[in-house]
């Protein structure tokens, strides 16, 4: 009986891996209703089964105080359109327990998701275009600046310059992968060891990387803002899942929910979040 169980388990795992490797297209599920204003980033909170959406509501570098965070259900309904308000072009987000971090041009906000309010603001000296966020298992918050190509870090309640990524350019998407920090740049995906701060070009890819998430087994999903969303991996040609560039529909900092195989793309100037099932 035990042998049969192990055989069946091995077959199941092999089948699951095979299916995941065959992902090559995206099937449209829904688009969010009217109300979002230049959505830049989507983040999934599995505890509440809700999506956070950052809305620039203006120009990406405009300090107009009109930016806001929305909450959406995973079937595309708006739960709270202006859940958090009074922001300046909010972009990337990261969640650590009940604290939501949001970039805001040259500041980072801490938001208590239970109370639904901002509780702390970090001002980053010299910052020009703070963009994405990733948080490691120790609670360190990493932030890209797309203009200065610096990585900043929040540790122990203090924000500081963490590493300069030059000569790599347009540092944007961030993702923690098995203890390594991955960074999307105009040259491709960088891999950084947080302990040694060693930087290497992990997966070359020209054109700029906005969203960056893990798919499976060394494969990653990236978006290039103009509208192209692809699967990439070392030593293999990219697989294009979607390309809405010709339709002038952007693909900004997306979310991917693995157990639902659901891709959620904020369309920036198209003012919606579009959901797809990967197949």
For residue range 240-260, what is the model confidence (pLDDT) as tens digits?
Answer: 999 999 999 999 999 999 999
**pLDDT value, residue 131:** 98
Round the average pLDDT of the chain to a whole number and report it: 93
Q: Tell the burial category of 74 from Cβ atoms under 10 Å away from its Cβ (0-12, 13-18, 19+).
A: middle
Cα–Cα distance, 57 to 67 (Å, whole number): 5
Taking the C-alpha atoms of residue 212 and residue 185, their distance in angstroms, rounded to an integer, is: 10
Q: Which tens digits make up the pLDDT trace of 42-69? A: 999 999 999 999 999 999 999 999 999 9
Give this prediction's pTM: 0.92
The ranges assigned to domains in the chain are 27-278
Rounded Cα gap, residues 240 and 24, in angstroms? 8
Q: In angstroms, rounded to a whole number, what is the distance separating the alpha carbons of residues 50 and 43?
A: 9
- Token readout for 182 is 């991955």
**Once rounded to an integer, what is the mean pLDDT over residues 174-200?**
98
Q: Identify the residue with better confidence: 255 or 13.
A: 255
Above 60 in pLDDT, residue 5?
no
pLDDT at 14 over 50: no
Give residue 11's pLDDT: 44
pLDDT band at 152 (very low <50, low <70, confident <90, very high): very high
pLDDT at 24: 82
Length of the chain: 279
CATH of domain 27-278: 2.120.10.30
Q: Is residue 15 scored above 80 in pLDDT? A: no
CA 92 vs CA 167, 218, 278: distances in Å: 23, 23, 23
């Amino acid at each position: 009986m035990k042998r049969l169980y192990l055989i069946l388990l091995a077959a199941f795992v092999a089948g699951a891996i095979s299916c995941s490797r065959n992902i090559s297209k995206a099937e449209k599920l829904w688009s969010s209703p009217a109300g979002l204003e230049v959505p830049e980033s989507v983040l999934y909170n599995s505890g509440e089964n809700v999506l956070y959406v950052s809305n620039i509501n203006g120009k990406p570098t405009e300090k107009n105080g009109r930016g806001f965070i929305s909450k959406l259900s995973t079937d595309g309904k708006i739960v709270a359109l202006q859940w958090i308000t009074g922001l300046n072009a909010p972009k990337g987000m990261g969640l650590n327990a009940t604290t939501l971090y949001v970039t805001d041009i040259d500041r980072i906000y801490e938001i208590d998701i239970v109370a639904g309010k901002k509780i702390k603001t970090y001002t980053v000296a010299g910052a020009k275009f703070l963009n994405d966020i990733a948080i490691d298992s120790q609670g360190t918050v990493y932030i890209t600046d797309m203009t200065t190509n610096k990585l900043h870090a929040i540790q122990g309640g203090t924000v500081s310059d963490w590493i300069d990524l030059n000569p790599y350019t347009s540092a944007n998407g961030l993702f923690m992968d098995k203890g390594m920090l991955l960074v999307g740049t105009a040259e491709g995906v960088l891999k950084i060891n947080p302990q040694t701060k060693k930087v290497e070009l992990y997966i070359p890819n020209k054109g700029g990387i906005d969203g960056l998430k893990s798919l499976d087994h060394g494969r990653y999903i990236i978006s290039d803002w103009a509208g192209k969303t692809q699967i990439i991996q070392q030593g293999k040609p990219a697989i294009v899942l979607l390309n809405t560039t010709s339709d002038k529909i952007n693909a900004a900092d997306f979310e991917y929910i693995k157990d639902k195989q659901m891709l959620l793309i904020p369309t920036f100037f198209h003012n919606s979040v579009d959901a797809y099932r990967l197949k």
